[in-house]
Structure 1
Amino acid sequence: MIGINTKSYIFKLALSYSFLIIILICIPAYFYTQSELESYKFNQNKLLDIHTSSIQRSISDFSDSKSNIFNFPKSFSFDSYLFKNNNQLIYSTTNKSFDINKTQQLIKKVSLSPNRLNADYLVVTKAFDYEEIYIKITLLTLILSIFVFISLFLILKQSITPYKKANDYLDAFFNDAMHELKTPLGVIQLNLEMLQEKQKDSKEISRCLNGLKNLLFIYEDIEYLIKNKRITFTKEDLDLSLFLKQRVELFESLAKSKNIIFDLNIEDDLFLFINRAQIQRVIDNTISNAIKYSKENQKIIIKLKKEEQIILSIQDFGKGIKNTSTIFNRYYREDTVKGGFGIGLNIVKNICQENNIKIKVISKLNKGSSFSYFFQLLIFVLS
């Protein structure tokens, strides 16, 4: 079954396509409308001519007859007036006075042959507007729009359904796979840490642990992407100072493998009202990238301070970034040799947008990069 979100997407897509199709149809529809208006006006004028001719015949027949009673042809659609040459009204079929300047009317004026009514000319008028045509065009447009929309909706629904089923299958597969991976990764980490305790100087175990930590960071990014649109991330008053120190400790072994040291300048007791998992993704992705792209025997400067805002900055002295405007795009990788999926900084960008966190990136090639995050005062509370 297609879910509510998918139905909403199909509805919006069908509506958009219908709008475009109707726009394209408007050009021939315009010419069709003009043709209909001209045809309608021509037919109304023709009816006016017929009725005028009918009155002329009746006057002529009455003049040739010996009858003293003249039955003036009347109609609910036409108003008729008999005048003398001095514009004196002799007879009319309506109580309304004749106004030649009146808009929205058709007028037919004909001279009469000498007759027993002593009328010199006849004027016949008919109220005229395009309301009938406009109603017709509006109904046709409405029916056509509904037909196009329903057709597109059904076509798109049938087209998307297989992809929706495949997507649901992939979602279920990834959820199951992530669930199955979590337990063995935890077991591997636990056993490696136990081995490291017994053999503290083993470089092989350290490398395994560092590789496992990188794998866990990738796992957490993918897990966040899967859960992002399905759960609500609850915010809390978080001690960012303490939390940042805890996250830095987890990266100590990774940094040590490249002889990188952390230069920390973290103010104490700075609190944020934010979701713990989201700020963890911001911190972890930024620090892991700083380590990944730093040269050996360098340092990474991590600062957390409060000015007008709370500012978190992480600076490395690595290879730098060629184009800072593209690094937050999903699946973009500045250096394909370093590996990764190109999703980490995209996650960071989305989290920052959701929480009104401003990002500032300064980078110079072969000199390093600095990532700064500015947290609004409204989202933190001092303890």
Structure 2
Amino acid sequence: MVLIALLYYQNEKKLYFDLAKTKMRNVVSNISSQIIFAHMSGNSLDMNQFLKTDLYQISFYDKNKKLLFGNLKDKDIDFSKNIIMQKENFILIDKSTYGHLDIYYIAIKENLFFNRLTSLQKEIVFLFFIIYFFISLIGFFLARLFLKPIKDERDRLNNFIKDTTHELNTPISAILMSSEDEENLTPKQVKRIKLAAQRISEVYKDLTFIFLENKQNLTVAKEFNLKKLIESQLKYFEALALKKRITINSELRDTFFTIDENDFIRLFNNILSNAIKYNKQKGTITILLENNTLTIKDSGIGIEKSKLKDIFNRYYRATDFSGGFGIGLNIVQNICEKYKIKIDINSELDIGSCFTLKF
């Protein structure tokens, strides 16, 4: 029982800390974005607005770590650390302003975390005496059966949220910066907005598929000419390929297959977007459709042989070369299993990858 209480306390303590840290990162990220945007747009920024909260104390520092503005009273701050733990609170150091408005460091102090821990301790002691007789026999089994899966799921969820936020931040920032002067948009800015919007659309569609994958009533399978579906999607990827000066060669023959249209688009788009994302500048992509077989071959960075067996696992990423959060190929595998499509992969580092699908 004591072991369970300690495990529960440590688990909840880490959860509280993760939540508090995440909220602080969101606050300071929002402040940093406003500072960067104000500097790049030449607008003034009222710094007092960031101090009107009872939850945090915030201060801003210059390149030499001298206080510029703020209400954080701590003087001896170690700016080499990201998190500074103290007796009754902790301080988070952020460096994402990169000198905009002469601000190089933001320090934010949280005041509620340790109060929550004290309340948690009292709750645990109270509950300990109430439910002791009910869980003494099953506590050991609950600890083994539930605590580890909950911790693993929480870690996966935290990583997923972090990667998703990062994946969406880049296109959203591109849209905001490119549309700053909306009355005088240049063709280059319009192109950036289009590419960013396409990326957000891809992320949204992937997330929709993942969270609705078990709702079979949403899919309507009928016979399609895969050649026409591929040709329509190739137009969608022209701008993305042009950005990296990638040449897409295609040789397509009429191929009919019974499948939900959106499922095939998800299948094809995830493979092709990876071929573009992990390709080299001025690389090539070859797409062949004949004899009920679709082949997509690229001249990209390739995948290590030892990692090929794991690339279809959800949230697994074989490389940190580019963005993404490891659900694209998991979607591909789910669709292939659903329609009994055989998929083979051949890949060599620095040479490229070849995906073959047999319908």
* Larger Rg belongs to: 1
TM-score normalized by the length of structure 1: 0.46
What TM-score, normalized to structure 2? 0.49
